[in-house]
Structure 1
């Protein structure tokens, strides 16, 4: 369902809802807008996501609520963590220079915000620049522009309560798990913690030497907690690549922080694990070194 656009600031001269997306045309400009930054921050009642351009604003921009984000040109789903998703599109704009170098930083990034979980590039093809946004919840949002510098801004309401949980990423050098804090929406705190884990470290955490070991898994499904045993199945792939530090090294402490979890059983994408029964931890054979 399309999110209701709350209002547009006067800087947006005309706004038309076209094909389920907010499409805002602007006057033709001689320069192609170049995306130079993406940033996000939490405020008291909303999360704000900002796309900053050098030069003029894009000739057209659109923000749409979608069940999944589809990559431009490829036509394939863009992997995103979240319970709701936004597709963001800029027409007659680009995110790379003449040499093909990306101009706005990492094409995928995680945020420790109440609603915004991650932002990922979905295409930069033939003058159309697009992104997907993974959200913790589907809430109303508003879209507007600012100038000096040129910015397209998305404000997402955050009317829900969050609680802090720990996610564990791997520290470079030691290869040991290190905890970082993430906000999640109760009561599904274990699922929220795993979602944030798969979104990966923030840019600041990456700079501090943390990284996510995915072991070829792209997500998870079927999380359950019964009689002290948490069970979760990996999706995508599963391969330790001969390493003793795997995604299990991160999932185990992330789930065991909760009082209801004493043991964790991780299943491969085909539904197999070494010790499916009993009060014990278990990993699939594909995570053995």
Structure 2
């Protein structure tokens, strides 16, 4: 089954947030051992290397009842395909944690595959893309090392999935069920073109699907994932101001209390992450004021019904 027009991955301008736990679990193998290499004539000293699958596109779309992510390859299918939920995405080679937005991460590993050409240039586009789908929030590459590709799919929640292959062209398809209701929320990003021209408002709103009843948390999760590729092309940016994520969101008596992680700082700018969080949350029912706290729980006006930011976010 073919999908709507292809979409390529796009890099984000700022760090994104990983909202998962701290330990990794192994992936589950979906295939048998790789096929043996075809030998060259008997007078040769060595056997020819097996043909490597080359990734040429990654795209995603929503279908009835599921989100679908497709990895398309030039040449054969990857002979080894592993998939499974992981608590964090690990970069091949370095072993560092790769940030992925979402409450769950579906890890994928393709053995006998590459995502670059002989000159080291990517063959499928940038390594990260944010998506405005019910389940899939991000698709992130975590490695292209020694004929092995690693990806993480950041999801709004853990859900059943199915992995299968198609040919002509070679594709690995991941269907992730979305058996839950979503509601649209407005998420506000910096409009870099308006800001550069000094033209207010400096923010632009985009729509994101979130699952109730945790709409405030879901809205901020989508905010920290950043703009989609199309939104980025229009000049939208996520200004993090040193924030790496959201530790908690508590709504009480019309006040949303938001505690951030990371080392917050305005850098002398009049526009900070607070200018994105505040309008995003005030669009939700029952929220009239927003108090933002740093990682140490500090804000300028912790009491009363009023907006507040930590001192570190002041210009």
Shift of 1:243: 1.3
Matches within 5 A, 1:136-285: 136-175=156-195, 176-285=202-311
Deviations 1:160-209 (A, max 9, x none): 11111111111122131111001111111111111111111111111122
Worse-superposed segment, 99-108 or 47-56? 99-108
Worse-superposed segment, 100-109 or 155-164? 100-109
Q: TM-score, normalised by structure 2?
A: 0.82
Shift of 1:28: 4.7
Residues 35/235 of structure 1: CA separation in 2 closer, same or farther (3 Å cut):
same
Match of 1:56 in 2: 76
Matches within 5 A, 1:61-140: 61-140=81-160
Residues 101/216 of structure 1: CA separation in 2 closer, same or farther (3 Å cut):
farther
Shift of 1:27: 2.8
User: In structure 1, what is the Cα distance between the partners aligned to 2:306 and 2:124?
Assistant: 46
Deviations 1:27-73 (A, max 9, x none): 35633212111110001111000111112111211111122222222
Consecutive unaligned residues of structure 2, counting only runs of 5 or more, are 1-25, 38-49, 196-201
Deviations 1:193-227 (A, max 9, x none): 11111111111111122111111212111110001
Is the 1:218–1:235 contact (alpha carbons within 8 Å) kept by the matching residues of 2? yes
Match of 2:62 in 1: 42
User: In structure 1, what is the Cα distance between the partners aligned to 2:77 and 2:311?
Assistant: 52
Is the 2:56–2:115 contact (alpha carbons within 8 Å) kept by the matching residues of 1? yes
Shift of 1:143: 0.4
Consecutive unaligned residues of structure 1, counting only runs of 5 or more, are 1-18
Match of 1:11 in 2: none
TM-align CA RMSD: 1.5
User: In structure 2, what is the Cα distance between the partners aligned to 1:72 and 1:220?
Assistant: 27
User: In structure 2, what is the Cα distance between the partners aligned to 1:69 and 1:231?
Assistant: 29
User: In structure 2, what is the Cα distance between the partners aligned to 1:100 and 1:241?
Assistant: 36
Match of 1:22 in 2: 29
Is the 1:117–1:135 contact (alpha carbons within 8 Å) kept by the matching residues of 2? yes
Is the 1:143–1:154 contact (alpha carbons within 8 Å) kept by the matching residues of 2? yes
Shift of 1:100: 2.5
Residues 141/183 of structure 1: CA separation in 2 closer, same or farther (3 Å cut):
same
Shift of 1:20: 4.8
Aligned residues: 271
User: In structure 1, what is the Cα distance between the partners aligned to 2:142 and 2:296?
Assistant: 28
User: In structure 2, what is the Cα distance between the partners aligned to 1:91 and 1:68?
Assistant: 20
Shift of 1:21: 0.7
Is the 1:28–1:59 contact (alpha carbons within 8 Å) kept by the matching residues of 2? no
Is the 1:167–1:180 contact (alpha carbons within 8 Å) kept by the matching residues of 2? yes
